[in-house]
Amino acid sequence: MQVRTRTEHKPYQIQPLKLSVLIPCYNEVNTVEEVLDRVESVQLADEIIIIDDGSTDGTRDVLAEIEAQQRPGVRVIYHERNQGKGAAVATGFHNATGDVFLIQDADFEYDPREYPVLLKPIQEGISPVVYGSRFLGGPRKAMNFWNMVANKILTLTTNILYNAILSDMETCYKVFRAEVVRDMTIRSRGFDVEPEVTAKVLKKGIRIYEVPISYNGREWAEGKKIHWTDGPKALWTLFKYRFVD
């Protein structure tokens, strides 16, 4: 009788990687410093770049104070005028020096304590791109119904056009190996940067790895900036980049 032995699996090799956290920021005077505090408290970021996209509400005064504190690893880049999130993300990609780029919004919707979960698949060499999904069972504050419907439509469209099985294309927690996006041309100026980057990653043949995250969506009165008009723009972006670069 032949005895079958259990297959021995080698442990994953955790790669030491330099992490750049990119924080696009526009008119977040009440949140940006605490978000920075939260990112620093996780003690995983080697470099934190705040990209101020022409704020006019006093955010720049707060950022000037942060610069005066000379926090280790923290840099602030200023756009002379408001150009949109896409422009801020592009500036971050072009100026970051890490091995991994993680996008962190300058509000309280996403929790930096989840960085280890987001980084693990990249550290273990499973995938060079990781998205934090709000629809994989993590705790979340109920979002606006029509925002959820728009998200589902955009994600389904992404999956059909690019042969993917994403659950949350519009998530703001996107993490990349630097070589995937550092030289990527980003033409989107606003929130349509999310589908543009996703489309270009998928067209490279990269399978995006998703992990569950928590989500604490803010209300319009609290400064939420995305509007219904961003939905059609995102949809057009998905179709456009399916056929052009």
Tens of pLDDT along 13-46? 676 799 999 999 999 999 999 999 999 999 999 9
Predicted TM-score (pTM) above 0.85 = yes
- pLDDT for position 229: 74
Residue 244 pLDDT class (50, 70, 90 cuts):
confident
Helix (H) or strand (E) holding 61: helix 59-69
The superfamily (CATH) of domain 19-144+170-189+201-219 is Spore Coat Polysaccharide Biosynthesis Protein SpsA; Chain A (3.90.550.10)
Instruction: Give the pLDDT mean for 183-196.
Output: 91
- pLDDT for position 190: 84
Domain residue ranges in the chain = 19-144+170-189+201-219
Locus of tokens 């756009």 = 79
Alpha-carbon distance of 66 to 216, in angstroms, equals: 25
Percentage above 70 pLDDT, the chain: 87
- CA angle, 95 then 101 then 103, to 5°: 100
- 73-89 confidence digits (pLDDT tens): 999 999 999 999 999 99
Alpha-carbon distance of 6 to 127, in angstroms, equals: 27
For residue 114, which of 86, 133, 141 has the smallest C-alpha distance? 133
Percentage above 90 pLDDT, the chain: 77
Q: Which pair of tokens denotes residue 161?
A: 């056009």
- pLDDT for position 199: 97
Instruction: Give the pLDDT mean for 56-67.
Output: 97
Select the more confidently predicted residue: 166 or 2: 166
- pLDDT for position 220: 44
Alpha-carbon distance of 99 to 46, in angstroms, equals: 10
Residue 238 pLDDT class (50, 70, 90 cuts):
very high
Lowest mean pLDDT among 30-44, 195-209, 229-243: 229-243
> What average pLDDT is seen over the chain?
90
- pLDDT for position 10: 60
Lowest mean pLDDT among 10-19, 98-107, 127-136, 201-210: 10-19
